[in-house]
A and B are shown apart, each in its own frame.
Chain A
Amino acid sequence: MATTDRLIICEHCDSVYEKVVLAKRQKALCQRCGAVIQRYNGMTVQQRLALALTATVLWIFANFYPVMSISLQGLKNSATLWDSVLALSDGPITFMAMVAAIAMIIAPIIQLALLIWVLLFALTNRRSPGFAPCMRWLETLRPWSMLEVCLLGAMVAVFKLAGMLDVLPGIGLIALAVLSILLIKVAGRDVRDLWDTL
């Protein structure tokens, strides 16, 4: 088994390579199909953990402060992410409310919780209890966490309503913007590196 550790298989065409050491900003491409097979990642465990904790705080801001508020002839209203999930939950379209809740709220926070759990133990060079299932869930959740889409959606909504009434972007929107960037940085594919280093 030990010998296969140095090998890397391209997931798009099944070509086998030996791992290489990459310098800053370098990435390795598959000769056969052109997919990225290795990417340089300079973040230490401490840095990742710091970013993950920051992201968690931002998640709280993004969820408990309104994403935006509107006013129409003196009437005011504001909505958080959860409010928009609830808006979908009426009537026959409830299923979409579940998808939206997973994509905007649940998947990101589970990703962050798993990440922090795994990284806390990684600080002392140990694998956390339940390391394998945690890492597999991180892998499974990634495509369903759609904060960057959510951010663009919120911005489109601002423009959509700006024509009819006054719109004020809220704290939640700013938190969402930073959170979506952090999550890409911290919960991306290179989480897998932990398998090799621990």
Chain B
Amino acid sequence: MNSPPFASELNLCLCHSCGLACDMTGHPHQCPRCNAPLHMRKANSLARTWAYMLAALVFYIPANVLPVMNTVMLGSGADSTIIGGVLEFWEHGAWDIALIIFIASIAVPGIKFVAITLLLVTAQRGSQWACRQRSKLYRFVELIGYWSMLDVIVVALVAALVKFQALGDIEPRAGILFFGLVVVCTMLSAMSFDPRLMWENRHSEEVMDEARSH
């Protein structure tokens, strides 16, 4: 099977906004159809992705250490962290809810850190290893992107509902701010990464392969 040509070989550029294949002769800066700026590759992709990811990693620590909410029930108050919330559900036998929160709040950001680091390091080394699988991994990271916002929304709703002064009161705490920042930063990080970087050294490789097969 013939492999399809790369856009750069045909002097074309994809418009990220409207999906038009733009002819790059004359080096236009804007998409002729929707006027969005055109880039052959996302600008400073690697540096931006690293920066957002490291920022997220830093926020991840206070997000897990600091309490996300404070519950006062009948006079006695307690701070709870994200992990604490998961454990509480687990101990009460609600393992399914515990699992949902664990996946959304702890596993998803964790997976994103590992996956983005892997993508960055391999892209930086110009690695040819498992390009297809790495592309798939990137799409997966994009897909799971915002699901970690779950905890922020849960805390917001619960805090809005339980407002009975002395009888019972729930307030959000600083942890939720850092947690939200982790989610926003990992989303920006995934958006800044350019998956096409993985395929860059592929050109020569495939030409060689074809030459060999003739």
Contact = CB atoms under 8 A, between A and B. Distances in A.
Interface of A: 1, 4-5, 7-9, 11-17, 30-35, 67-70, 72-73, 75, 77-79, 83-88, 90, 92-93, 95-97, 99-100, 103-104, 132, 135-136, 139, 143-144, 146, 149-150, 152-154, 156-157, 159-161, 163-165, 192, 195
A14 B6 contact: yes
A9 B12 contact: yes
B199 A32 contact: yes
B115 interface: no
A84 B153 contact: yes
B177 A161 contact: no
B94 interface: yes
A154 B138 contact: no
Interface range for B: 35 or more
Contact of B153 (A69, A95, A153, A161): A153
A33 B135 contact: yes
Interface string B178-211: 0011001001000100011011001000000000
Contacts of B83: none
Contacts of B8: 14
A100 B152 contact: yes
Contact of A33 (B33, B132, B160): B132
B146 interface: yes
B97 A156 contact: yes
Interface of B: 1, 3-8, 10, 12-14, 16-23, 32-36, 73, 85, 89, 92, 94, 97, 100-101, 104, 131-132, 135-136, 138-139, 145-147, 149-164, 167-168, 171-174, 176-177, 180-181, 184, 187, 191, 195-196, 198-199, 202
Specify the main secondary structure of chain B where it touches its partner: helix
A68 B177 CA distance: 24
21 contacts: A7-B12, A8-B21, A11-B196, A12-B135, A13-B6, A14-B196, A14-B199, A31-B1, A33-B132, A33-B135, A75-B167, A96-B152, A100-B152, A132-B33, A152-B104, A153-B152, A156-B100, A160-B89, A161-B161, A165-B168, A195-B33
B3 A153 contact: no
A100 B153 contact: yes
A12 B138 contact: yes
Contacts of A96: 152, 172, 176-177, 180
A10 B196 CA distance: 9
A144 B199 CA distance: 28
A138 B103 CA distance: 29
A17 B181 CA distance: 39
A15 B7 contact: yes
B122 to A, nearest CB: 14
Contacts of A75: 164, 167
Contacts of A33: 131-132, 135-136, 195, 199
Given A72-B167, A164-B73, A86 B4 contact: no
